[in-house]
């Protein structure tokens, strides 16, 4: 099984002092790593908005060159619709839900989750936005951001 990184994971990798260490931690079995083209757009927008310097931009480009970027195609639209309607408690394929209020997901997160579900990838994230999809549409591995601290400390 491969893994797909959420945008917040990409940000952590780029910002880490020990990028190879954090990558090994996030992907200990060295699975093929993917991101959505949506995540590429998000992180490049953040880089512009936050005026990242050349070192951080170069780190981002090196990272993007190491992973497979998946484009969004018509194939993913049905999965997107299934996940969005499920998250809103309105998917006719489900009679019972493990949550009682709608889970409002950002549109970019919906695309990322759709690709994870469609391609059978483990979704690695640092936030709870995907928790309700775990074991329903895809495997979700949520990392507590405090676990990243050793990779930010320079010896």
Instruction: Give the mean model confidence (pLDDT) for residues 16-41.
Output: 95
The answer to whether residues 99 and 63 touch, using CB atoms and an 8 Å cutoff, is no
What is the per-residue DSSP string for 31-42?
A: --EEEEHHHHHH
What value does the CA radius of gyration of the chain take, rounded to a whole number of Å? 16
pLDDT in tens, 88-104: 999 999 999 999 999 99
Q: Is residue 155 predicted with pLDDT exceeding 60?
A: no
In the chain, the number of structural domains is 1
Range of the domain at 86: 2-151
Tokens 């996030």 identify what position? Answer: 26
CATH code of the domain covering residue 86: 3.40.50.1010
Q: Give the percent of the chain with pLDDT over 90.
A: 93
């Amino acid at each position: 099984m491969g893994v797909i990184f959420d945008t917040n994971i990409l940000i952590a990798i780029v910002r880490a002092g020990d990028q190879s260490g954090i990558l090994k931690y996030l992907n200990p079995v060295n699975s093929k790593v993917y991101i959505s083209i949506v995540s590429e757009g998000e992180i490049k927008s953040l880089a512009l908005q936050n005026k990242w310097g050349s070192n951080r931009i170069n780190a981002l480009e090196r990272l993007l060159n190491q992973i497979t970027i998946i484009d969004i195609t018509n194939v993913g639209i049905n999965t997107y619709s299934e996940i969005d309607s499920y998250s809103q408690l309105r998917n006719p394929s489900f009679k019972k839900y493990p949550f009682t209020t709608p889970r409002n997901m950002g549109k970019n997160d919906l695309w990322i989750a759709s690709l994870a579900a469609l391609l059978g990838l483990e979704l690695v994230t640092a936030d709870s936005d995907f928790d309700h999809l775990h074991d329903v549409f895809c495997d979700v591995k949520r990392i507590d951001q405090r676990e990243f601290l050793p990779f930010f400390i320079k010896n």
